[in-house]
């Protein structure tokens, strides 16, 4: 009886870091942080998914899986951990450029999206001043 109380639903199969780009997860988190997923934001996410898609794993399947994972997730810490463990400083800077491009994709810099951008920068160990430089360069 107690076993069933603590039994959870079977978790989604999490995408392997080699199967899909962890940046997609963060991109989706930023895109929905303002409460809506704009078509310009979705277009950028799909464009990134096309880059990491393989013959076996199509871009649309990657995007669907990212959406499903994000809906069931309470934290993006696993993505941050993967980035910190496997990305160089330069790759993190490139990631922030992509994320800022997403923040400005709908021509509106939403406060929630901007705050999440800076929080992600902090979590991936990039100084706020560097994140601000990226913001200024790509605006």
Distance from C-alpha of 33 to C-alpha of 97, rounded to nearest angstrom: 18
**What pLDDT score does 64 carry?**
87
Record the tokens describing residue 14, joined without a space: 């999490």
Rounded distance between C-alpha atoms, residue 31 and residue 102, angstroms:
7
CATH code of the domain covering residue 98: 1.10.3680.10
Per-residue pLDDT at 135 exceeds 60: yes
Is 75 in contact with 54 (CB distance < 8 Å)? no
**Residue 9 placed within a domain:** no
Q: Assign residue 107 a region: left if phi > 0, alpha if psi is -120 to 50, beta otherwise?
A: left
Residue 13 lies in a domain: no
How far the first Cα of the chain sits from its last, in Å, is 57
Whether 97 is covered by a domain: the verdict is: yes
If you average pLDDT over each of 57-61, 65-69, 80-84, which comes out highest? 80-84
Average pLDDT over residues 18-42: 83
Is residue 14, in this structure, part of any structural domain at all? no
Interacting residues of 12 by C-beta distance below 8 A, sequence separation 6+:
65, 68, 69, 72
Containing structural domain, residue 114: 21-138
Residue 118 lies in a domain: yes
Query: What phi, psi does 37 have (nearest 5°)?
Result: -110, 100
Residue 11 lies in a domain: no
Tell whether pTM > 0.95.
Answer: no
Helices (H) and strands (E) in the chain, counts: 8, 0
For the chain, what is the domain count? 1
The reply to whether 8 falls in a domain is: no
């Amino acid at each position: 009886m107690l076993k069933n109380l603590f039994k959870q639903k079977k978790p989604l199969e999490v995408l392997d870091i080699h199967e899909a780009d962890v940046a997609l997860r963060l991109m989706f988190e930023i895109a929905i942080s303002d409460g809506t997923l704009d078509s310009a934001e979705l277009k950028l996410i799909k464009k990134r998914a096309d880059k990491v898609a393989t013959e076996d794993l199509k871009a649309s399947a990657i995007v669907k899986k990212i959406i499903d994972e994000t809906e069931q997730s309470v934290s993006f810490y696993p993505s941050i951990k993967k980035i910190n463990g496997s990305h160089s400083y330069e790759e993190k800077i490139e990631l922030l450029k992509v994320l800022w491009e997403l923040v400005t994709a709908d021509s509106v810099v939403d406060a929630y999206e901007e705050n999440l951008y800076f929080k992600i920068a902090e979590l991936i160990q990039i100084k706020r001043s560097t994140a601000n430089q990226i913001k200024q360069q790509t605006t």
